[in-house]
Structure 1
Amino acid sequence: MLKGKYLVFLSLLAIFFVNLASAQVKDTVLKPLDTTRAVPQKNIRIDSSSKRQDTTKVKYINPGKIAGRKAIFKSLIVPGWGQLYNNQLLRDKLNAKGEKTGHFWQKTYTLSKVGIIYGGFTLLTISYIDNRNNYKIFLKEATYRQLNPGKKENPDLIRYGDTNVTDAQAIYKRNTQIIIFSYVAVYGVQVIDAYVAARLNFFNIDDSVAMKIMPSLINSQNSMYGFNVMPALKVSLRF
Structure 2
Amino acid sequence: MQKIKLLILVSLFTFLFVNLANAQVKDTVLKPADTSKVKVAKPIGTAGPKQPVTRQDSIKAKYVNPGKVAGRKAVFRSMIIPGWGQLYNMQLLNDGYGTRAGKSQFLQKLYTGGKIAAIYGGITVLTMSYIESTDQYNLALKELQYRNDHGDKPDPEGPFGSRYSTSGITLRKDTYRRNRQIVLFSYGLVYFANIVDAYVAARLHFFNIDNNLGVKLMPSMINSNTVYGFNATPALKLSLTF
TM-score, length basis structure 1 = 0.69
1:205 is aligned to 2:209: yes
Amino acid at match of 2:169: V
1:5-84 alignment, distance < 5 Å: 54-55=58-59, 57-84=60-87
What percentage of residue pairs aligned between the two structures are identical? 51
Aligned pair partner of 2:118 in 113, 116, 119: 116
Amino acid at match of 1:183: Y
Give the Cα–Cα distance (whole angstroms) in 2 for the partners of residues 151 and 221 of structure 1: 89
**Is the alpha carbon distance of 1:221 and 1:141 closer, same or farther for their aligned partners in structure 2, counting shifts above 3 Å?**
farther
Structure 1: gaps (5+ residues): 1-42, 44-51
Aligned to 1:164: 168
Give the Cα–Cα distance (whole angstroms) in 2 for the partners of residues 94 and 131 of structure 1: 45
Aligned to 1:28: none
Q: Deviation of residue 75 (structure 1)? A: 1.0
Aligned to 2:152: 150
TM-score, length basis structure 2 = 0.68
Q: How many residues align?
A: 183
Q: Deviation of residue 90 (structure 1)? A: 2.5
Aligned to 2:141: 139
Amino acid at match of 1:199: R
| 2:58 aligned counterpart, secondary structure | coil
**Is the alpha carbon distance of 1:178 and 1:236 closer, same or farther for their aligned partners in structure 2, counting shifts above 3 Å?**
same
Larger Rg: 1
Which is worse superposed, 61-70 or 149-158? Answer: 149-158
- In the TM superposition, structure 1's runs of 4+ consecutive aligned residues that sit over 3 Å from their partners are 93-96, 219-222
Deviations 1:110-167 (A, max 9, x none): 1110000000001001101100000000000011111212310025342111111111
Give the Cα–Cα distance (whole angstroms) in 2 for the partners of residues 116 and 90 of structure 1: 20
Give the Cα–Cα distance (whole angstroms) in 2 for the partners of residues 181 and 94 of structure 1: 35
Aligned pair partner of 1:129 in 128, 131, 136: 131
Aligned to 1:89: 92
1:238 is aligned to 2:241: yes
Aligned to 1:193: 197
Deviations 1:62-115 (A, max 9, x none): 11111111111211221101101111212313549xx72253222211111000
Structure 2: gaps (5+ residues): 1-36, 38-55
Would you say the 8 A contact 2:99–2:206 is kept in 1? no
Amino acid at match of 1:71: A
| 1:203 aligned counterpart, secondary structure | coil
Give the Cα–Cα distance (whole angstroms) in 1 for the partners of residues 113 and 159 of structure 2: 48
| 1:202 aligned counterpart, secondary structure | coil
